[in-house]
C-alpha cells in the first residue's frame, strides 16, 4: 500500500514538473525561458533577453521573427551565433515544421545575423537578404570583428561560428515576394548604423524596425550611426501607421510602446544637447545638468552605461551641423 502511494505521489510530482516547465521554451536559466509568441496574423517573435552578450545568455539577446506562409517560413534576424541559430530553429519547429525559404537581416550588428550559418546549414536553398552596405561589411572586417567579439563576450560559447553574409541586396523601396508573402523595404540611413533596413510585411501590416528602436533597453551608437537620422527613421516609421511594430530589443507592440518611448528619449537628448551647446556647455556638463530629468528612463537596461555616450554622440552631431 505504502509503495503504491509512493509510486502515485512520484507520478504526480513528475506530472507537476512536466506541466510547470513550459514545453515551448528555450530555457536559459537565470536569463529566463524563451519561445515564439504570436504578435500578428501568421507572425511570431521570440523576444530575447535585454542583457548584453554573456556566457549566461550564450550571446542570445535579439528578437528573431518568423512569418508563416503556405509552403514555408521567412525569418527576420535569426540571432547571434551558429549555436544560437540551432536553438532558434528548434523553437521555430515548435511553431511550424515547414522549411525556411528566406531570411532578412536588419543590420550589421552580429547579434542579429551570425545565426545565418545555422539556417544555411539546414536549408541551403534559403535566400538571405540585406542592405548592400551590410553585405559588404559582413564580408569584410566587420564580419570578423563581430565573430571574435561574440566569442569573447560569451567566453567561447559561440566558438566555430562563421560569417554567412546575405547574398541578395535590398534598398529603400525594394519589394520582395516570397511564397505569396509581400515585403517592402524601408532603408533610412544612416540611423542606428549605415546598414539598416526596416522590413514591412505588407499583408499583416507589421514593421520589423531592427535596432532603430528599443523598448526598456538602451543600445550604443557606433561610429557609423546618426542619432538625428535615427529620429528621422522613427518619425517615418510612425507615419507608416502599421498595426504592430517589432523593435530590435524589447517587446513588440503598437507605435506607442515600440517606437514612441525611444523616439521621445532621442528627441529629449537632442533638445537638452542643443540647449547646452547654445549655452557653450561641454557634453559632460550637459550630462550632469540634465540627468535628473531622465528619470523615466533610468530603469531601462543599459541607461547608466549609455546615457553619457548618447549625450556625447549627440553633441558631436550637433557640433558638426553647426559648422
Q: Work out how close the CB of 51 gets to Zn ion at its nearest, in angstroms, rounded to a whole number.
A: 15
Q: Work out how close the CB of 79 gets to Zn ion at its nearest, in angstroms, rounded to a whole number.
A: 13
CB nearer to Zn ion: pick between 91 and 211: 211
CB nearer to Zn ion: pick between 47 and 109: 109
**CA 186, 188, 189, 195: dihedral to nearest 10 degrees?**
-20
Q: Yes or no: say if 248 and 62 are a contact pair by the CB < 8 Å rule.
A: yes
Which residues are CB-neighbours of 174 under 8 A, at least 6 positions away? 184, 185
Q: Which of 90, 93, 140, 131 is nearest to 112 (CA)?
A: 131
CB nearer to Zn ion: pick between 109 and 201: 109
Query: In angstroms, rounded to a whole number, what is the distance separating the alpha carbons of residues 306 and 323?
Result: 26
Q: At what angle do helices 303-322 and 227-239 cross, to 10 degrees?
A: 100
Q: Which residues bind Zn ion (CB under 5 A)?
A: 109, 211
Query: In angstroms, rounded to a whole number, what is the distance separating the alpha carbons of residues 163 and 142?
Result: 10
CA distances from 286 to 83, 297, 299, 310, 321 (A): 43, 17, 21, 11, 18
Q: Work out how close the CB of 213 gets to Zn ion at its nearest, in angstroms, rounded to a whole number.
A: 11
> Coil, strand or helix: which one is 204?
coil
Query: In angstroms, rounded to a whole number, what is the distance separating the alpha carbons of residues 287 and 311?
Result: 7
CB nearer to Zn ion: pick between 221 and 307: 221
Retrieve residue 13's grid coordinates. 510530482
CB nearer to Zn ion: pick between 123 and 208: 208
CB nearer to Zn ion: pick between 213 and 238: 213
Retrieve residue 82's grid coordinates. 551558429
CB nearer to Zn ion: pick between 87 and 211: 211
Cα dihedral 251, 222, 165, 28 sign: negative
Cross-strand bridge partners of residue 76: 65, 104
CB nearer to Zn ion: pick between 200 and 211: 211
Amino acid at each position: 500500500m505504502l509503495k503504491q502511494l509512493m509510486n502515485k505521489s512520484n507520478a504526480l510530482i513528475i506530472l507537476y514538473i512536466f506541466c510547470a516547465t513550459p514545453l515551448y521554451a528555450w530555457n536559459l536559466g537565470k536569463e529566463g525561458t524563451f519561445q515564439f509568441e504570436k504578435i500578428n496574423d501568421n507572425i511570431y517573435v521570440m523576444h530575447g533577453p535585454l542583457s548584453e552578450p554573456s556566457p549566461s545568455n550564450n550571446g542570445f539577446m535579439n528578437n528573431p521573427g518568423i512569418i508563416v506562409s503556405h509552403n514555408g517560413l521567412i525569418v527576420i534576424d535569426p540571432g547571434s551565433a551558429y549555436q544560437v541559430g540551432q536553438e532558434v530553429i528548434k523553437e521555430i519547429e515548435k511553431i511550424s515544421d515547414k522549411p525556411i525559404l528566406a531570411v532578412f537581416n536588419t543590420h550589421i550588428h552580429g547579434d542579429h545575423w551570425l545565426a545565418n550559418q545555422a539556417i544555411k546549414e539546414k536549408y541551403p536553398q534559403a535566400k538571405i537578404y540585406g542592405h548592400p552596405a551590410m553585405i559588404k561589411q559582413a564580408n569584410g572586417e566587420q564580419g570578423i570583428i563581430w565573430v571574435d567579439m561574440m566569442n569573447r563576450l560569451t567566453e567561447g560559447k559561440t566558438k566555430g561560428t562563421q560569417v554567412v553574409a546575405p547574398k541578395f541586396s535590398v534598398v529603400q523601396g525594394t519589394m520582395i515576394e516570397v511564397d505569396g508573402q509581400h515585403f517592402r523595404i524601408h532603408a533610412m540611413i544612416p540611423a542606428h548604423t549605415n546598414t539598416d533596413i526596416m522590413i514591412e510585411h505588407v499583408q499583416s501590416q507589421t514593421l520589423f524596425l531592427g535596432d532603430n528602436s528599443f523598448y526598456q533597453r538602451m543600445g550604443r551608437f557606433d561610429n557609423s550611426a546618426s542619432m538625428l537620422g535615427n529620429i528621422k527613421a522613427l518619425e517615418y516609421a510612425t507615419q507608416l501607421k502599421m498595426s504592430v511594430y517589432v523593435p530590435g530589443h524589447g517587446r513588440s507592440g503598437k507605435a506607442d510602446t515600440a517606437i514612441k518611448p525611444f523616439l521621445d528619449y532621442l528627441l529629449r537628448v537632442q533638445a537638452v544637447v542643443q540647449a547646452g551647446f547654445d549655452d557653450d556647455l561641454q557634453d559632460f556638463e550637459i550630462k550632469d545638468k540634465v540627468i535628473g530629468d531622465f528619470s523615466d528612463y533610468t530603469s531601462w537596461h543599459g541607461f547608466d552605461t549609455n546615457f553619457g555616450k548618447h549625450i556625447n554622440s549627440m553633441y558631436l552631431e550637433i557640433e558638426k551641423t553647426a559648422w
